[in-house]
Structures are given as structure tokens and as C-alpha cells.
Structure 1
Amino acid sequence: MFQKRIKELRKKAKLTQKQVAEKLDMPQSLYSNLERGIKQANQKRLKQFSDFYDVSTDYLLGNTDIKSKTLETDLNKTLDTVRSFDGKPITDADRETIREILKRRQLEREQKADN
């Protein structure tokens, strides 16, 4: 998934492999190998890509479809602190349902903005 995501992000930014490689201070051959899945990104490189494209590492790895770093973090913090709703306790299953609904809604917004 990583290689697919970095290629999509690069093309959306209208950059060449060479331009991204230069900005990330890596040989173009390494960038090309990462984008084609021949090489795997280490933690340092993953963080570089995350910072460069301003997306979460989870997004780059395919663990979420939400690009925003802060949205994912804020959502998790907020849901972890909510204990009840309308006087009734919220279960872990409830939190997960709310999380999925909000993620889906954010993804719809991002897709709408991309079109």
C-alpha cells in the first residue's frame, strides 16, 4: 500500500520522482525503488514522507483512509475520554462505531474536495 500511496500523493502534487527525491535528500533510484515496492521504507523514511506530504504514517501504510495526522489523533483522544452519552455509559463497541462513522464522513469530505 505504501508504494501506491506515495505515488498517488506525488502525482497529486504534480511532482516528479526526481523532485521528491531531492526534497527528501535521497537518491532518485532509492525513491523509484520505494515507489515500485522493490525497497521498503524504514521508520526514518516513513516519517519523512509523512511530514513531506502532511499525512499520517497510518495513511501511508494503508491502515486508514484518513490523510490528516491531527484528525486521527484528535478523534482517538476525544473518544477515549468520553464515558457516557445521555446519562448512559458508552462501551468500547460504541466508541468504535462512532470512530468508524466519523472516519467514513471525513473520507467522504476528502474525496469530495479532491474532485
Structure 2
Amino acid sequence: MITFGERLKELRNSKKLTQKQLADIFYLNKSSISRYENNSQMPENEILQKLADFFEVSIDYLLCRTDEQMPPISNNSLSKKEKLDIEKEALHMIENIDNADVIEFCGTPADDDDKEFLRMAYERFLSDVRVYNKMKYTPKKYKK
């Protein structure tokens, strides 16, 4: 089973950083990073959160509780207005498909079920993008 230290080293290497470079980013000593990677010391919660943010992974991933780097995106964090906007945009996309002369998937014309599936997939895509952008671009002081 992979350890926190191995996971941290793997992430550091993926960014092509030395222990010294990573330590400098977080205003730590190189020896602190070395102790983390050798599993002889765990970082404090504040450093752990900063490491997760820096490597764009969840704390659970860093602590080897999951192999998923980020938790699945939930559209529960979207407002009613945002959800309605997404539905309207998906319907607009379907209208464009309806207005096209021929829509085919692998040479087969699309039927109503295909179009409904496309609408649902497009809504999911828009929801995920909106949630991701909210997570990425909302300043931390405004996050709940």
C-alpha cells in the first residue's frame, strides 16, 4: 500500500521539483520535505492543505485514503438560476440539432432518444464546468 511520503514524492516528481524547490515554495527546510517523504514526520494540517492546493489534489488523495485525485464534482453547489441557465443552454443546443438537416452518430441518424441523451450529457457537461470554475476561481474567503 502506498504511503503519504511516497504519494508526496510522486507528486513532487510529477512537477519536476527537487525537495529544496518544494521546501522553498512553502518556506520550509529541505529536511522537512525529506522527513515527510520518508514517513518520519507528518505535516501540520495547514501545510497539508497547502500541499493539496498546490498539487491540485484532495487531502484524502495525499493521505492515501483514495486513489481519486479530486472528489467527484457535485452540482449541488449550483444555484437554482445557474441550473435553469444550464437547462436553457442545453435546450438551445438541442434546438440547433433539430434545425440541422441530418444528425448522425456513426452513420446512423439520431432519433429522439439520442437527442434526449445528448441534452442530458450536455447539461451534465455544463454543470461540471460551472462547478469546477466556481471551485477554481472563487476566492477562498467567499467559499463556505
TM-score range, shorter chain: 0.5 to 0.7
| Residue 64 (structure 2) pairs with residue 57 (structure 1) | no
Identify unmatched segments of 5+ residues in structure 1: 79-115
Higher Rg: 2
Identify unmatched segments of 5+ residues in structure 2: 78-144
**Cα drift, residue 40 of structure 1:** 1.2
CA distance in 2, matches of 1:66, 1:42: 22
Question: Are residues 54 and 43 of structure 1, via their aligned partners in 2, closer, same or farther at CA, if it must alter by over 3 Å?
Answer: same
**Cα drift, residue 77 of structure 1:** 5.5
Aligned to 2:32: 30
Q: Supply the RMSD in Å over aligned alpha carbons.
A: 1.9
TM-score by length of 2: 0.48
SS at match of 2:73: helix
Identity of aligned residues (%): 37
Aligned to 2:99: none
Residue type of the alignment partner of 2:66: T
Superposed structure 1 runs of 4+ greater than 3 Å apart: 75-78
CA distance in 1, matches of 2:24, 2:34: 12
The partner residue of 1:67 within 69, 80, 87 is: 69
How many residue pairs were aligned?
75
CA distance in 2, matches of 1:42, 1:3: 14
Deviation digits for residues 15-49 of structure 1, max 9, x if unmatched?
A: 10000000111111111111111111221111011
TM-score by length of 1: 0.59
Residue type of the alignment partner of 2:44: N
| Residue 46 (structure 2) pairs with residue 47 (structure 1) | no
Aligned to 1:98: none
Q: For 1:1-115, what aligned pairs fall within 5 Å after superposition?
A: 1-68=3-70, 72-75=71-74
Deviates more, 1:34-43 or 1:55-64: 34-43
SS at match of 2:42: coil
